[in-house]
Chain A
């Protein structure tokens, strides 16, 4: 158990719909990262939040948005869903010192299926 909690574990929805994925980081971790992993694909970096602020952005679609709340949990919102958005979405948290990126602790992922 990494200490990172993601909900829901599985989600099936239709094209055009909107979903929200939730992540609770490990206690004390200020950094939250979101990654997308499509079937047999690598981990695509979406976004990094640190203590409530967006700090780095990857190839995140405009239909996707995220935020980190004062209690440090984070949500990833996916709207106008397309078939190609079907993937495993990982959240990871990190202690994060001021110098280097620390070890990322991944949650179990939220598997999104768009029909």
Chain B
């Protein structure tokens, strides 16, 4: 089955700096790559996603890049703010929407310090 590896497990940056989280996946059939943010004690929420036919997507301070050949994708957060502190999960999905298996990475705990 699909295996998603995520690095680093923890990341500390100063406010205003950029943060980069990287993920690799094993199954070349994966076609959908979302990123979820989970604040302490709360539910995961989607922050950005990318599909296999796109190489890059940006939404304000957040961007995701996908390299299908290398089977890796990355999350980039620019101008980090204290409210960006959370655990971030990457995920990879294969199959159609009606029969999909969304596999998550192990998470990155991001801490933005003042």
B64 CB → nearest A CB, Å = 14
Given A33-B102, A101-B100, residue A42 in contact with residue B89 (CB < 8 A): yes
Interface string of A76-115 (1 = CB under 8 A from B): 0000000000000010001011111111101111000000
Once the chains bind, are B97 and A94 in contact (CB under 8 Å)?
Answer: yes
Q: Does A2 contact B (CB under 8 A)?
A: yes
Once the chains bind, are B102 and A45 in contact (CB under 8 Å)?
Answer: yes
B102 CB → nearest A CB, Å = 6
Once the chains bind, are A98 and B102 in contact (CB under 8 Å)?
Answer: no
B100 interface neighbour in A41, A56, A103, Cβ under 8 Å: A56
Once the chains bind, are B105 and A48 in contact (CB under 8 Å)?
Answer: no
- In angstroms, Cα B100 to Cα A90, docked, is 17
Once the chains bind, are B43 and A102 in contact (CB under 8 Å)?
Answer: no
Once the chains bind, are A56 and B95 in contact (CB under 8 Å)?
Answer: yes
**Which residues on A sit within 8 Å (CB–CB) of B65?**
none
**Which residues on A sit within 8 Å (CB–CB) of B36?**
104
Once the chains bind, are A101 and B106 in contact (CB under 8 Å)?
Answer: no
Given A42-B107, A100-B31, A101-B32, residue A108 in contact with residue B43 (CB < 8 A): yes
- In angstroms, Cα B43 to Cα A56, docked, is 22
- In angstroms, Cα B49 to Cα A31, docked, is 18
Once the chains bind, are B44 and A43 in contact (CB under 8 Å)?
Answer: yes
B13 CB → nearest A CB, Å = 21
Once the chains bind, are B97 and A98 in contact (CB under 8 Å)?
Answer: yes
A113 CB → nearest B CB, Å = 15
Mark A residues whose CB is within 8 Å of B.
2, 30-31, 33, 35, 41-45, 48, 50-51, 55-58, 90, 94, 96-104, 106-109
Mark B residues whose CB is within 8 Å of A.
1, 31-32, 34, 36, 42-46, 49, 51, 89, 93, 95-107
User: What 15 new A-B contacts, CB under 8 Å, besides A2-B43, A101-B34, A101-B100?
Assistant: A43-B104, A45-B104, A50-B99, A51-B98, A56-B99, A56-B100, A56-B101, A94-B97, A96-B98, A99-B97, A100-B31, A100-B93, A101-B32, A101-B97, A104-B44
